[in-house]
Structure 1
Amino acid sequence: QKIVYNGILKGRLARDPATGRIGNQSLRNAMMQLRKISNHPYQFLECYPQENIDWIYMSSGKFELLDRMMPKILRMGHKVLIFSQFVQLIQILCHFFDYRGIKHLKLDGAMGLEQRNDNLKKFQ
């Protein structure tokens, strides 16, 4: 996570050749990329390693914390609702939950209304 984060900081900030200042668009783009990295660095990979799936949670501090918290939360009979602006992060979460054998549902903009309503009913 740290390596990818530092790479974005070093390589993504385009400077105006005349003033040497970092452009607003470049800064906004870099900030968005840093947000993605802080969630999970696998968002930058087209595919991630399937042979060592442990890295799905070991590569992200947030996922490591989630991995420690979920068993306790589920033992207490609670349900968990996670929001994300990033569809790719939702996919990574689904792989993580599959790996840990945790039942899960997802809602995203690609789902049809019927499937979305079915998932909402199942969650309740």
Structure 2
Amino acid sequence: MAEVLVNIVGVLMILAVIWWFWLGPKRSASKATPSTDNLQILVKDGVYEPDLIRLPAGRTATLHFHREDPSPCSEWVLFPDLEVSAQLALNQDTLVEIPKAEPGEYPFNCQMQMYRGTLILE
């Protein structure tokens, strides 16, 4: 009986992790105004907030990542299509320079791809 209970609890924990990182509620989008391309992104509780960012294409921008989550997965942010990465300091702002790029959607994530977001250049 104890083995069955342990297995049920284990499966429930696995389902909770899957829901939290991949199926959970998404945060609302935020858009930086053309005059201020300095947008703060909070890294907390397993998500980037906001996780959808809209910026003008063809211009450089600075994103301010503020990491409050001490988990090792939240330590890096990667923009693979833009060849940009940064190590995020705990409880501090880290500036991430986004280079000029063509219009399109550019995913960003942590090194394990559990934290995910999208940068949309329009």
The structure carrying a bigger helix percent of its residues is 1
Q: TM-score, normalised by structure 2?
A: 0.29
Q: TM-score, normalised by structure 1?
A: 0.28
Asked which structure has the greater CA Rg, the reply is: 1
Which structure is higher in RCO with an 8 Å CA cutoff and minimum separation 6?
2
